[in-house]
Structure 1
Amino acid sequence: MRRLSILVSLLLATAAPAAANDPKWSEPIAPFKIADGLYHVGSRDIAAFLIDGGKDGLVLLDAGVPDFAPRVIENIRTLGFDPKRVRILLNSQAHFDHAGGLAAIQKATGAKLLLSAPDAALMKRGGKRDFAFGDAVPYPVARVDGIVKDAHRVTIGTATLTAHITPGHTKGCTTWTMPLKVDGATKTALFICGTSAPGYRLIGNPAYPNIVADFRASFAKLKALPCDIFLGSHGSYFNMDEKRGRAGATPNPFLDPEGCSAFLDASSRRFETELAKQQADHLRAGTVQK
């Protein structure tokens, strides 16, 4: 839990300003249905999504911190599914709070893990030598069984998810989309990877020299993607706490394209504000040195 507290201080404030230092970040909650074939099995703020592909099996997107893995398994059972039917593990970002539980869940289910190439490299290092956090928040290494590229489709039975590589928060940050039947119509769910730069060095970063270009390109891509069902790696991104209280209602409370657009606009503004601050600090430091 000490590592979790470290990560909270580094990452939590990036989920949403209101969530900063919230002890409920990893609090267990009951699993719930978002839409037909899609369920939340994560914690109060660290999201994990279960996708039902029918008779061919299940997909799990994200796994929370290492200590939360047993709860994810329990949540899957609570929903009436056999965890052994999880065939594929996917990840949004290879940070401790989203990838830390993958090794334990892989061991429990035998599922294959698919990651983007940069995040697969981070996973193989167990989160060490991270461009921003160094070795501060390591986690158990899971076996990487395949690499997903941009526009890669992952299909299991009736479920198909499409990968969109949106680097910045991690070098291989992966946003996912999938079609869903919602209120009698086909809609697109958008699972946003991450949009923040928590304490990141944005100017002259030798460990990630193209970080600014990557963030800006990712914001442009995210804003262009369809987003009917607004979801993400943290519940605070998409106001999950409030929406889950209305789960099952019509219209579906997770139908929120306006909220999705507002979140991305606010995130890009925060990024540009932080970048401008670092640029000004860098300029002042250069002036002092002269």
Structure 2
Amino acid sequence: MNFQIRPLLLITSIAILSHTQTANANRIGIKMPSEPKLASAPTACKSLDDWNEPTHARRIYGNTWYVGTCGISVVLIATPNGHVLIDSAPEKASEAVRQNILSLGVKLNDIKTILITHEHHDHMGGLASVQAATGAKVLSRSNIVDVLKSGKNDRRDPQFNELSGFDPVANVHAFEDASTITIGDKKIQHLPMSGHAPGGSGWTWQECEKSVCKNLVFADSLGSISDATYRYSAPDSLANALRESSQLVAKTTCDILITGHGTASNLLARLDQKAPLIDPKACLIYAERGAQALLNRLTQEKSEYNK
């Protein structure tokens, strides 16, 4: 399997597997997912805000699958050249995520690449254990490689004083911002989305069903959330980065929006056909809400400063 990172202007490439490993992968074959076999009727989530509560796997569109929990999105992008996982949920939920993956009939070691949205424990606290179970390569923005490898929280993070740590992650490799991750015919475009966290990342790719192709966007959080001491109005804050992230999401071609916390996009209801899955305006609306929330936050901070 050849793996390429393609920045928008500069093209570079590296190989995840050697030629021998590629030949072995082709000989053994990568198992593509199929609809999960449920022992009983799906049980409704008790809380869509519960990061750890298990729920069953669901097809999102084409060969992209939801394998997360009731409250945290984890996405599997399946390709014949090896599967890609985005995020892992918290460590307490990592076993539920692994079981969801297995319920699709695929092997854990068919996952060759792991990506993340941002370096908070609710989204990637289980990353170390999932990486160990799969043997996958973890790809990271260069500005948080040391954070992932150490498990130590980043002092630049707006929520630094409230964050829980996580186990150090192995096999971490940097990529350039705005790169295209290419695995076989699958191209996954990186969207730099700092602001909620320094290493924030969105991802967009295309899936097709019966020749009907849709653009999927797994957008990172646009929440201007912080601990009690952080100020987005400070000169060295991530406010400008967060504003730019909203602008980037707003102009991204988007048919199906996925968010790390499903409640931000009504995700599980949409996957369960209780609301429309496809909405070309979803990313624009999501971006506008994020930009307005930041404006409200800055206005509040200014008001507090002037008291």
Q: Going by fraction, where is helix more abundant, 1 or 2?
A: 1
Q: State TM-score, norm by structure 2.
A: 0.78
SS at match of 1:161: strand
The Cα shift of 1:149 comes to 2.0
CA distance in 2, matches of 1:283, 1:135: 26
> Which residue pairs with 1:270 in the alignment?
293
What whole-Å deviation, never above 9, does each CA across 1:89-123 have from its counterpart, x for those lacking one?
A: 00010110111111001111100000112232322
The Cα shift of 1:23 comes to 5.3
Show structure 2 runs of 5+ residues with no match: 1-46
What whole-Å deviation, never above 9, does each CA across 1:245-271 have from its counterpart, x for those lacking one?
A: 129xxxx94211223322221221111
What whole-Å deviation, never above 9, does each CA across 1:230-249 have from its counterpart, x for those lacking one?
A: 112121122112112129xx
Q: Compute the RMSD of aligned alpha carbons.
A: 2.0
Show structure 1 runs of 5+ residues with no match: 1-20, 285-290
> Which residue pairs with 2:278 in the alignment?
255
What whole-Å deviation, never above 9, does each CA across 1:7-27 have from its counterpart, x for those lacking one?
A: xxxxxxxxxxxxxx9653432
One-letter code of the match for 1:138?
A: G
Go from structure 1 to structure 2 and tell me whether the alpha carbon gap of 1:226 and 1:109 turns closer, same or farther (over 3 Å shift): same
> Which residue pairs with 2:124 in the alignment?
99
2:59 corresponds to 1:33:
yes
Paired residues in the alignment total: 256
Query: What is the aligned counterpart of 1:87 among 73, 96, 112?
Result: 112
Does structure 1 retain, via aligned residues, the 8 Å contact 2:51–2:90?
no
SS at match of 1:26: coil
> Which residue pairs with 1:191 in the alignment?
218
Go from structure 1 to structure 2 and tell me whether the alpha carbon gap of 1:196 and 1:144 turns closer, same or farther (over 3 Å shift): farther
CA distance in 1, matches of 2:123, 2:50: 16
Moved over 6 A (4+): none
After TM superposition, the structure 1 = structure 2 runs for residues 126-275 of structure 1, keeping only pairs within 5 Å, are 126-130=151-155, 131=157, 132-134=159-161, 136-182=163-209, 184-199=211-226, 200-204=230-234, 209-246=236-273, 253-275=276-298
One-letter code of the match for 1:104?
A: S
Q: State TM-score, norm by structure 1.
A: 0.82
CA distance in 2, matches of 1:135, 1:120: 21
Does structure 2 retain, via aligned residues, the 8 Å contact 1:189–1:227?
yes
Give aligned-pair identity as a percent: 25
> Which residue pairs with 1:67 in the alignment?
92
Go from structure 1 to structure 2 and tell me whether the alpha carbon gap of 1:22 and 1:49 turns closer, same or farther (over 3 Å shift): closer
CA distance in 1, matches of 2:259, 2:209: 18
One-letter code of the match for 1:272?
A: L
2:146 corresponds to 1:125:
no
SS at match of 2:174: strand
CA distance in 2, matches of 1:203, 1:125: 29
Does structure 2 retain, via aligned residues, the 8 Å contact 1:96–1:127?
no
Go from structure 1 to structure 2 and tell me whether the alpha carbon gap of 1:167 and 1:155 turns closer, same or farther (over 3 Å shift): same
CA distance in 2, matches of 1:189, 1:179: 6
CA distance in 1, matches of 2:257, 2:283: 6
The Cα shift of 1:127 comes to 4.1
Go from structure 1 to structure 2 and tell me whether the alpha carbon gap of 1:52 and 1:22 turns closer, same or farther (over 3 Å shift): closer
CA distance in 1, matches of 2:49, 2:192: 31
